[in-house]
Chain A
């Protein structure tokens, strides 16, 4: 039995007069559209690589990609005898049905658009949202991808991101961090403050202004508690924070100022011998 391709292509699939050939045409047009979209998007990304920030670049690339895909879809639809003008009539009812059915999708989509244009978060930012901390890998149309600090991929629906409290650790140009430093009561707190400020001064990214502040915060059980407030560029604050504390501690010790161990001074009302003395008498 001879296999005739033409006959196979003309087999109706049972929906109107749509044939296998038309289905294939539809798929090919769509596929070509997706390929064109990928090629164009890749080139747009490449051309804009050094001209636009990553966030805007990715947004524009995605926009170009989806416009081309939608265009290919619209071009391909007539192959399925789909009259687009019919959408105007059917659109209302279908829209209502689809709207109810895809509430969460639409909600995520709208939230995604707001996130993209409002910019509370950008790609690369360190954030905390919906109890997830990490850096933003991507802000997609329906979801936001976060890479946690231990390298785990987490996808959060945009609606959840949009309605949650977003803590963006690097949104502002500078941020402040704090050290608590305890010194012994017999040490000179003024000297300790001067030494700590000197160490902070040597670090390039411990900002000159707002100036660092080191002061006696309170008189603790074990020693005098100093507090240091240091401002650093928001994107480098962790490096500064991890770099300075040990240097301050070393500089203090080199100048004879030490961190006290926890200690408790106990005073006996009748002197330390009172208890022992009475015990001896009891014996």
Chain B
């Protein structure tokens, strides 16, 4: 990633995995911000949902447990001025895959990612993966098996230092119903909060979580 002057014009240029992205910048005071963003933008922005698939966990009724998952990382480049902040570029390493959650008629398209379940913060590959702290609570009256969590990325809060991290909750309501949400807190003290892509795009954010209606 570099900025430079080409024929007297300020130019932003990014090369990643054989692809080049270039834009001419017209700015007097603008600043470039680079941080991890919600991983639902590549190769094209088609959904707001992230579906995490993980090793099945059988959970006793009334029990809570915090586990760690790995999630894909995308990097956002923003340009900020005194008046506004705008997304300039989003890129990422690795591949992307999408899936359908629910039925073709009423379901949703979601970015798909598979992770193992870790009891402690796992070692991750920098710039490719982040760590999600997931607190699962089985509020139903039955034993349940959980292997999928769907999140609405509009609510996602990402913090970073040398590690990219996010914290989320999942509440099992009934054998087919669960509610997921993100927590606006760093995984460990001192982490920096990422500029949220959806806030930058000026979509009003209502922190309401996501209700998984088609099983988990």
Contact = CB atoms under 8 A, between A and B. Distances in A.
Interface string A95-134: 0000000000000000000000000000000000000000
Contacts, number: 53
Given A207-B98, A208-B99, A208-B112, A172 B104 contact: yes
Q: 5 closest pairs, A vs B, by CB? A: A208-B99, A204-B96, A174-B104, A233-B109, A209-B99
Interface of B: 42-44, 46-47, 95-102, 104-109, 112, 201-204
Given A172-B105, A174-B107, A174-B109, A210 B100 contact: yes
Interface string A46-66: 000011000000000000000
A88 interface: no
A209 B100 contact: yes
A173 interface: yes
A209 B108 CA distance: 11
Contacts of B107: 173-174
Q: DSSP class of B's interface residues: helix, strand, loop or mixed? A: loop
Contacts of B202: 50
21 contacts: A50-B202, A173-B100, A173-B102, A173-B104, A173-B105, A174-B100, A174-B104, A175-B104, A204-B95, A204-B96, A204-B98, A205-B46, A208-B98, A208-B99, A208-B112, A209-B101, A210-B104, A233-B98, A235-B46, A236-B44, A236-B46
A172 B105 CA distance: 5
Contacts of A26: none
A174 B109 CA distance: 8
Nearest to A50: B202
A175 to B, nearest CB: 7
A51 B204 contact: yes
A235 B108 CA distance: 12
Given A204-B96, A205-B46, 17 more contacts: A50-B201, A50-B202, A172-B105, A173-B104, A173-B107, A173-B108, A173-B109, A174-B100, A202-B95, A204-B98, A205-B44, A207-B109, A208-B112, A209-B100, A209-B101, A236-B44, A236-B46
B97 A204 contact: yes
B214 to A, nearest CB: 11
Contacts of A207: 98-100, 109
A202 B96 CA distance: 8
Interface in A234-278: 235-236
Contact of B97 (A51, A173, A208, A235): A208
Contacts of A208: 97-99, 112
Nearest to A236: B46
A207 to B, nearest CB: 5
Contacts of B112: 208-209
A176 to B, nearest CB: 8
A84 to B, nearest CB: 42
Contacts of B204: 51
A50 B201 CA distance: 9
Interface string A3-22: 00000000000000000000
A63 to B, nearest CB: 22
Contacts of B102: 173
A7 B93 CA distance: 81
Nearest to A201: B97
A20 B98 CA distance: 68
Contacts of A204: 42-43, 95-98
B100 A231 contact: yes
A208 B204 CA distance: 30
A175 B101 CA distance: 13
A146 B97 CA distance: 33
A50 B96 contact: no
A172 B102 CA distance: 11
